[in-house]
Structure 1
Amino acid sequence: MDFIFIDDMRVEAHVGIFEREKAAPQTLELSLTFGVPDAAARNDAIEDTIRYDVVIARIRKELGERHFNLLETLGEYVIGLMLEEFGAPWVKISIAKIGIMKGVRRVGVQIERARA
């Protein structure tokens, strides 16, 4: 299986349980790795792969329109998009809130899922 990765993408999202987090979006750092069909490399054809530009645009749009209480839920939502809508066979995501606590650079989650 071949993989595409998107590393350290910054996104604006509404996530959190505190009032300050519900009042305004915050910048998250998101990294995503997902499997793509072997046919993409074999055929050298864009229609045989998952386009990272489309994935990035879709994630930014979706996260800009929704509120999630937990990073875990946000991560599962993005993984669902990748598995169900984009057809990825395997996805790993890392999501971090940046600078939310004094002396802590990032706090986040990592989730990995595959289609059954």
Structure 2
Amino acid sequence: MTVRFTTMLEGLQVTMGLGIHPHELAARQRVIVSVRMEVVYPTPPAEDRIDAVLDYDFVRAGVKALVADRHFHLQETLCEAIAALCLADPRVERVTVRTSKPDVYPDAAVGCEIVRGR
């Protein structure tokens, strides 16, 4: 009996290099990252232990590592890198990644969302 869960990391705020404009190349900016992973298990977790399921700590730590020392020009490229990170776990069947730059305009955020699967 295969079971599916959706594991989420919502609203992770990171300060990173992202963008193509001179002011974006010169200074890091706030970016909000949300990830939804459709995770498949052979059976429902039999025990109430973290090692029985996907631990979303790896996604949080992985995103922070991705953006620590790298400047991304495009949100699309950032989303692809985060999706690849998630799909490295064989239990993740499908991932939705959303990024947003909330401080670009005074009246709107700009963002990107992708869906990737096996």
Range class of TM-score, shorter chain = 0.7 to 0.9
**Contact conserved, 2:100 with 2:112, CA < 8 A, in 1?**
yes
Percent of residue pairs bearing the same amino acid type: 27
Q: How many residues align?
A: 113
Q: Which residue of 2 aligns with 1:95?
A: 99
Who wins on radius of gyration, i.e. which is larger? 2
Matches within 5 A, 1:3-82: 3-39=6-42, 41-44=44-47, 45-82=49-86
**Contact conserved, 1:37 with 1:48, CA < 8 A, in 2?**
no
TM-score computed with the length of structure 2 as normaliser: 0.86
Q: What's the offset of the Cα at 1:63?
A: 1.1
- Measured in 1, the distance between the counterparts of 2:20 and 2:5 equals 37
* Deviating more after overlay: 71-80 vs 53-62: 53-62
- Measured in 2, the distance between the counterparts of 1:89 and 1:48 equals 17
Q: Which structure dedicates a bigger proportion of its chain to helix?
A: 1
TM-score computed with the length of structure 1 as normaliser: 0.87
**Contact conserved, 1:33 with 1:93, CA < 8 A, in 2?**
yes
Identify unmatched segments of 5+ residues in structure 1. none
Question: C-alpha offsets along residues 52-109 of structure 1, whole Å, 9 cap, x if unaligned?
Answer: 112101111111121111100100010011112x2321100110001211322x1101
Identify unmatched segments of 5+ residues in structure 2. none
